[in-house]
């Protein structure tokens, strides 16, 4: 077949795009792509029974909300995999009970299902998944080609313009990711992209019966694939009305309308009638919301703004179960590119304000995007669905107009205008980045940790046995954390013997008084390393990041409680030390938690003249009632070590007759200059005191060697007050 030079470039782009899709399909384990688990569940059910799923609210199914979708993609896919043995589907979709879906910042538990390998053998259900991914890749190639053809119809003078527009779609990491997955978006995107292309041909050439029939079939097929296929109907209607106004071809309009109506009723109408019969609604969206989960609270403009960041991210790169991001700077770069494209599009409109044909093309493409945005907003107002990838059915318009804006902006810069290859440079950079993403961002989140031969020297040594496994070390920064912070932790497990059940571990961050401020419940390896697969004798590094909640707590040291349990039964696994003695709990020192600037104060304190201790701490006030003492401290300089407050009651012979030593809740080496803290002490008396006067003295000492912070008082003990016993 003869290709012009540009056509050869398109063929090359499609080859590169398909290769990238294969890489993304390899990087993402089966059933882990966005909603792939439930899309495949619907397909599998149809292939097994020959029936469409019927939604029953409150009943857990393998297809969940996807059973409410129009069925064309599922019907075709079911026919493709029907000959394949899929009896292992239930085993392949065994859920990860600790998955953290929809939270990109979380560490671990990205996987929706449990698996022993990120690349299982190509057989049975796994083979069926990859066959459908290949089908989706073919559909993605159709979409990219349609973007190219759409852009070519804009008559932009640059020969690289159609290729750049298609490249903005083909090299969008999120578009590649969805294309390389089992998802009905791929079919509706291909159909809508072809429709947008045909719409521009209609504007240029007018009506023809063949084209009208083709467009009618595309509309019917898109409507039977996803509700977003309906958005193009009024857009095509506007285009047809413009052609009638230009050419007075009412017969062509009548033919197009009749063909669309007939094709829709014959090919798609039955499914909408089925919705009315089964659910009492035409589109099935209320039923879908009931299954997926309705949005809690009111949906306001502020809600829309607050979710806009995630919406943008999900257009360019938000993988897995909406829980895997790529490099943070990439989103900022694409924001800038989008803004530049919008500015350039405005410039293009202004420069072509007298070119009516170009303005009509621009208007219809923009209206298609606007219709898609309105549809997404309407849907996300009902359930949590603020994902930019839902605009992919309109990617032929989006990528074309984005490229148009960038080219218009480049045309205004003389240095770029004289170097045509620079016009395509941003698209080439995007393609290079798209190649890096699966290796840098996707694969690492699914790869199980490798076995180690020994615990690193940097780890703190500890030992606690939990049945078949022992905790032999851990690493965490000696840091002070704020509320809403994240506590990183790596624990090292040594496998003592093979396990016959998959156990879960828990890591609970606690304050000094036992208040829980964060936790992780997980299968080990962040959900990727089941205990039944562990190798006896091996050591595994298990890394997590524990989100610390924003509850108000007093400054405190942090300790991490570690343990194991059986998720199905809830049975806790007892801990024991090296001698086999049972441990009540296993606690690991893990830093401290406090506000960025601590100012603890009490109006009832009696002021003292800022007594200096070691140039680090200053006593500023106290309150003494019965045997309860509260001391107020100001940090002058961060103490070099952790000190304990000593509180002593002395008689005339300097004998200690009462004592209330206690360390502060947050160790002193975390205290920062300018901060103010309270320490609280209960004074205990070993015997009844005789009548007389006693001195109450306070100070600081280091527990390991009892050395005191110096102050201008004998024995570095400041006389706070006198206690009189009648």
pLDDT at 414: 66
For residue 203, which of 351, 345, 365 has the smallest C-alpha distance?
365
Instruction: State the sign of the Cα–Cα–Cα–Cα dihedral 9, 10, 13, 15.
Output: negative
Q: How crowded is residue 654: how many other Cβ atoms within 10 Å of its Cβ?
A: 12
- Determine the Cα–Cα distance for residues 622 and 608; give it in Å rounded to an integer: 8
H helical segments located in 558-613: none
| Alpha-carbon separation of residue 94 from 69, 111, 363, 500, 535 (angstroms) | 23, 11, 48, 17, 22
pLDDT (0 to 100) of residue 301:
85
Give dist(CA 40, CA 59) in Å, integer: 18
pLDDT at 3: 39
Asked if 111 and 99 touch (Cβ cutoff 8 Å), the reply is yes
Count the alpha carbons within 13 Å of 558 in the hemisphere toward its beta carbon: 31
DSSP-assigned letters across all residues of 13-69: HHHHHHHHHHHHHHHSPTT-STTHHHHHHHHHHHHHHSS-----TT---SSGGGGGS
How far is it, in rounded angstroms, from Cα 602 to Cα 702?
27
Please identify every stretch of the chain with a pLDDT value under 50, giving residue numbers as ranges: 1-5
- Asked whether 539 and 455 are in contact (CB, 8 A), the reply is yes
At residue 177, the pLDDT reads 98
Give the up-direction half-sphere exposure of residue 563: CA atoms within 13 A in the CB hemisphere: 20
Residue 6: per-residue pLDDT: 52
Give me the sheet containing 676-682, strands edge to edge.
606-613, 617-625, 628-635, 676-682
Helices (H), 265-387: 269-279, 285-292, 301-306, 308-316, 328-351, 356-380
Report CA 386 to chain centroid distance, whole Å: 13
CA separation, residue 105 to residues 110, 376, 673 (Å): 10, 24, 32
Tell me the residue length of the chain: 726
What pLDDT, on a 0 to 100 scale, did the predictor assign at position 603? 76
Q: What is the spatial distance between Cα 718 and Cα 697, in angstroms, rounded to a whole number?
A: 5
The pTM score is: 0.87
Distance CA 449, CA 440 (A): 16
Q: Provide the pLDDT for residue 473.
A: 96
Residues 6+ apart with CB under 8 A from 232: 192, 195, 196, 219, 222, 368, 371
* Residue that the structure tokens 């698996």 belong to: 115
Q: Please name the residue that has the structure tokens 């506007």.
A: 238
Q: How far apart are CA 71 and CA 270, in angstroms?
A: 11
CB atoms within 10 A of CB 213: 16
CB atoms within 10 A of CB 618: 18
**Letter string b/e over residues 47-69, b meaning 16 or more CB atoms within 10 A of that residue's CB:** beeeebbebeeeeebbbbbbbbb
Please name which of 140, 171, 178 lies closest in space to residue 320, comparing C-alpha atoms. 178
**Structure confidence at residue 422 (pLDDT):** 75
* SS3 state at 461: strand
User: Interhelix angle for 185-205 vs 356-380, to 10°?
Assistant: 160
Instruction: State the pLDDT at residue 381.
Output: 87
Whole-angstrom distance, CA of residue 164 vs CA of residue 185:
23
* Distance of alpha carbon 377 from alpha carbon 384, whole angstroms: 10
pLDDT at 270: 97
How far apart CA 195 and CA 215 sit, in angstroms, is 6
Neighbours of 457 (CB within 10 A): 7
DSSP bridge partners of 460: 474
Residue 525 DSSP class: G
Convert 151-167 into a string of H (helix), E (strand) and C (coil): HHCCCCCCCCHHHHHHH
Residue 448's pLDDT is 87
Residue 489 near residue 560, CB atoms below 8 Å? yes
Q: Is 109 left (phi over 0), alpha (psi -120 to 50) or beta?
A: left
For the packed helices 395-411 and 161-170, what is the interaxial angle rounded to 10 degrees?
A: 130
Listed residue (636, 721, 626, 632) closest to 680, CA to CA: 632
């Amino acid at each position: 077949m003869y290709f012009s030079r540009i056509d050869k470039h398109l063929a090359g782009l499609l080859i590169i795009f398909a290769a990238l899709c294969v890489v993304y399909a390899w990087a993402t384990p089966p059933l882990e792509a966005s909603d792939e688990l439930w899309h495949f569940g619907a397909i599998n059910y149809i292939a097994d029974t020959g029936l469409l799923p019927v939604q029953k609210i409150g009943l857990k199914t393998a297809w969940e909300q996807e059973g409410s979708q129009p069925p064309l993609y599922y019907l075709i896919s079911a026919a493709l995999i029907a000959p394949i043995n899929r009896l292992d589907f239930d085993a392949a979709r065994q859920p990860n009970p600790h998955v953290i879906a929809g939270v990109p910042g979380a560490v671990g538990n990205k996987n929706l299902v449990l698996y022993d390998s990120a690349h299982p053998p190509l057989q049975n259900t796994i083979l069926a998944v990859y066959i459908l991914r290949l089908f989706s890749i073919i559909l993605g190639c159709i979409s990219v080609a349609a973007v190219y053809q759409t852009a070519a119809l804009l008559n932009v003078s640059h020969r690289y313009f159609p290729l750049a527009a298609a490249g903005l779609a083909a090299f969008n990491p999120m578009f590649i990711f969805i294309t390389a997955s089992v998802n009905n978006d791929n079919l509706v995107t291909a159909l809508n992209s072809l429709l947008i292309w045909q719409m521009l041909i209609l504007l240029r050439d007018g009506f023809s019966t063949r084209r009208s029939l083709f467009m009618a079939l595309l509309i019917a097929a898109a409507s039977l694939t996803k509700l977003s296929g309906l958005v193009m109907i009024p857009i095509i209607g506007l285009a047809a009305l413009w052609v009638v106004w230009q050419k007075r071809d009412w017969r062509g309009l009548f033919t197009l309308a009749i063909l669309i109506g007939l094709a829709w009723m014959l090919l798609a109408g039955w499914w909408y009638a089925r919705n009315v019969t089964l659910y009492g609604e035409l589109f099935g969206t209320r039923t879908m919301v009931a299954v997926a989960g309705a949005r809690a609270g009111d949906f306001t403009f502020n809600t829309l703004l607050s979710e806009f960041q995630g919406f943008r991210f999900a257009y360019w790169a938000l993988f897995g179960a909406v829980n895997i991001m790529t490099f943070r700077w990439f989103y900022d770069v694409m924001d800038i590119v989008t803004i530049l494209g919008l500015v350039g599009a405005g410039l293009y409109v202004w420069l072509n304000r007298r070119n009516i044909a170009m303005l009509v093309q621009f208007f219809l493409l923009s209206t298609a995007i606007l219709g898609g945005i309105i549809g997404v907003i309407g849907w996300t107002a009902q359930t949590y669905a603020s994902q930019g990838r839902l605009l992919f059915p309109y990617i032929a318009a989006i990528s074309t107009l984005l490229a148009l804006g960038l080219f218009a902006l480049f045309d205004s810069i003389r240095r770029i205008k004289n170097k045509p290859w620079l016009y395509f440079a941003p698209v080439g950079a995007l393609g290079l980045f798209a190649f890096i993403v699966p290796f840098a961002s996707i694969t690492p989140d699914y790869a199980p940790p490798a076995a180690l031969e020994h615990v690193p020297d940097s780890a703190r040594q500890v030992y606690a046995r939990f049945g078949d496994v022992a905790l032999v070390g851990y690493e965490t920064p000696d840091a002070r954390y704020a509320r809403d912070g994240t506590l990183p932790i790596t624990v090292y497990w040594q496998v003592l013997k093979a396990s016959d059940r998959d156990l879960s571990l828990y890591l609970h961050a606690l304050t000094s008084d036992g208040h829980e401020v964060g936790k992780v419940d997980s299968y080990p390896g962040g959900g990727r390393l089941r205990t039944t697969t562990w190798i006896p004798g091996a050591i595994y590094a298990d890394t997590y990041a524990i989100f610390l909640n924003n509850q108000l707590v007093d400054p405190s040291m942090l300790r991490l409680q570690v343990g194991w349990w059986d998720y199905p039964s809830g049975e806790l696994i007892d801990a024991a030390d090296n001698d086999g003695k049972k441990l009540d709990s296993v606690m690991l020192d893990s830093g401290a938690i406090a506000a960025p600037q601590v100012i603890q104060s009490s109006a009832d304190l009696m002021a003292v003249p800022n007594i200096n201790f070691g140039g680090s701490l200053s006593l500023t006030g106290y309150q003494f009632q019965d045997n309860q003492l509260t001391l107020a401290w100001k940090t002058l300089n961060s103490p070099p070590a952790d000190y304990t407050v000593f509180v002593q009651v002395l008689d005339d012979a300097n004998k200690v007759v009462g004592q209330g030593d206690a360390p502060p809740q947050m160790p002193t080496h975390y205290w920062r200059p300018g901060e103010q803290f309270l320490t609280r002490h209960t004074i205990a008396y070993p015997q009844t005191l005789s009548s007389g006067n006693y001195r109450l003295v306070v100070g600081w000492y280091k527990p390991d060697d009892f050395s005191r912070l110096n102050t201008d008082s004998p024995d570095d003990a400041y006389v706070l007050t006198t206690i009189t016993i009648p």
